[in-house]
Structure 1
Amino acid sequence: MANIRDLDPSASPLDYYGSELRRLREDAGLKQGELGVSVFCTASLIGQIETARKVPTRDFSERVDAALGTGGVFSRLVGLVLRSQLPSWFQAYAEMEARAAYISTFQAQLVYGLLQTEAYARALLTVDHPDRVDEMVAARMERQRILARENPPVLWVVLDEALLHRQVGSREVMRNQLAHLLGFRDRPWVQVQILPFSAGEHTGMMGSFNLLRFEEDPDLCYAESYDSGQMTANPQVIRERSVGYARLQATARSPEDSAALIARVMEERYGDQPGPDGRAVA
């Protein structure tokens, strides 16, 4: 029997999405199973989304819009839904990130979220959030849509060489992640540099940080700890971090040399290797 749990549409973006899905489905005279057939999913999934027990994906939303002829209602709503799945302390940063004209980031441990593959993100998020990994991965992938805009932000990324060697997920996951980084070589507004081990001590040793620049608003500096993030527009902090970032860029390998290093690590550490029987394993 279909779940008829009532929702308060004002409770959250997810509740509003679910209530609208039920309302518009019923207006179209469709049962959950009938809509499920149209959008290639089960009636159970339709019911879970309508009762806010499951987070919809963008692909699901686009298929529902096509099936119900809703003119993109759900494709627009899903962005709000997915953003609401981000940690509450991170949502303010994600909103500013989406508005930024220029993003500079130094990452000491992990590939920056905007450049992560889905499998890499899933391996990371499973560690601490195994019960919410699907929705958190979907939210992270949604963040990346800003790079596909007609006028995307300029993104400059400096990555510590150590993160190339730290295996996240399987070797195949890491190989694909490094290949993904190499894929940005053809995008002039995305630059990736590797800070080599040979740099020794450097200004980023206190941790990762991001600098956001806007067309009209003041610059922001962002840094985070385990369960909180801090944004500041303090001019002195911006000045110090901007100088620090420039020094990191100057010390790091050039984008071209960085790509060569990424490719070498990808092949040497995560490429095909012979197994016990002599056959290659990925």
Structure 2
Amino acid sequence: MEVVGVRSRELDPSASPLDYYGYELRRAREAAGLTLAQLGSIVFCTGSLIGQIETAMKVPQREFSERVDAALGTDGLFSRLVGLVLRSQLPSWFQPYAEMEAKAAYISSFQAQLVDGLLQTEPYARVVLGTRDEAGLDARVAARMERQRVLEREQPPAVWVVLSEAVLHQEVGGREVMRGQLAHLLDLQKYTWLDIQVLPFKARAHTGLTGSFCLLRFEKDADIVYTEDFVQGHMTANPEALKEGSVRYDHLQAAAHPVDDSAALIARVMEERYGNDPEPDGHGMA
């Protein structure tokens, strides 16, 4: 028996990646002779959820897509499609940057207030993305986590991130979230091609005072510099902007702690500021 109310909407598969995913999921499920409930039981979810995804009312997650591929024998189709679906959930003005980021050979980032999105934990990202609007938050968090798959590809980009020391002290989501986030930064040291430096407060006036920015370099495409304001992002390949961004970044790297000293500072802040002392309600943080 199908779930009532989820089959009435016919999708135009060309309308969006989400519609295309839903259209193909319904087609593959029906070709396998499975009801919504039957497929749901195989992939460990409700038939209602399957129906919502088939009608583009719900955004699929990567784990769900991998289970569906295994259940329906679709040779990785939905695991490939979900990347497009999740990228489509990013703000429209950010999507061009995300596409370039996914192709970059070198990523250099300076962050003045927050941990770079490529390095955020899911709890940290959930707080950042849900600050003003929780509508569609699950999809937006999943999209941010999907961006991080660039770090796991067979030939990942060389990544260099400079964080202002203020990032370590800006308590996003509470001490437990921050402790997990700083522990994650330390764990990222396992990647030999990813380096994190902390720009200390004692650096005083520095070339990043005007705000965060990123530099993307490519093997074949033109390099770009990316900045954001509170409305949208700005991406340019203008040679003068690239030169200015590169010079500023070189100065930030020179003023920041070396990588090993930065890791030691992150560990110290994690223990001293976000350690195992009880929260105000008396519950421990461990």
Same topology, TM > 0.5: yes
Structure 1 alignment gaps of length 5 or more: none
Aligned to 2:6: 3
- In the aligned structure 1, how far is the partner of 2:282 from the partner of 2:120? 32
Matched, 1:227 2:202: no
- Matching residue of 1:122: 126
1:57 to 2:66 alignment: no
Note the aligned Cα RMSD (angstroms). 1.3
Name the residue aligned to 1:167: 171
Give 1:276 shift: 7.3
TM-score with structure 1 length normalisation?
0.97
- Give the drift of 1:277: 9.6
Paired residue for 1:68? 72
What residue in structure 1 maps to residue 139 of structure 2?
135
TM-score after normalising by structure 2:
0.96
* CA–CA separation in structure 2 for the residues paired with 1:281 and 1:190: 29
Give the AA of the match of 1:130.
E
Residues 170-197 of structure 1 show CA distances to partners (whole Å, capped at 9, x for unaligned) of 2111000000000111211100000000
Q: Which amino acid aligns with 1:49?
A: I
Q: Distance in 2 between matches of 1:148 and 1:276?
A: 38
The 1:165/1:8 distance shift into structure 2, 3 A limit, reads same
Alignment of 1:1-282 (within 5 A): 1-4=4-7, 5-274=9-278, 280-282=284-286
Provide the aligned length of Structure 1 versus Structure 2. Answer: 282
* Residue identity opposite 1:262 in structure 2: I
Measured in 2, the distance between the counterparts of 1:249 and 1:56 equals 39
Q: Is the 8 A contact 2:176 2:285 kept in 1?
A: no
Deviation at 1:280, TM superposition (A): 4.2
- DSSP-derived class of the 1:120 partner: helix
Instruction: For 1:195 and 1:214, locate their aligned partners in 2 and report how far apart those are by CA, in whole Å.
Output: 26
Q: Distance in 1 between matches of 2:278 and 2:83?
A: 44
**In the TM superposition, what is the alpha-carbon distance from 1:129 to its structure 2 partner?**
2.7
* Uncovered stretches (5+) of structure 2, i.e. residues with no partner: none
Q: What secondary structure sits across from 2:162 in the alignment? A: strand
Using a 3 Å threshold, how does the CA distance of structure 1 residues 3 and 233 change in structure 2: closer, same or farther? same
Question: Contact (CA 8 Å) 2:29, 2:35: kept in 1 or not?
Answer: yes
**Contact 2:6 2:48 survives alignment (8 Å):** no
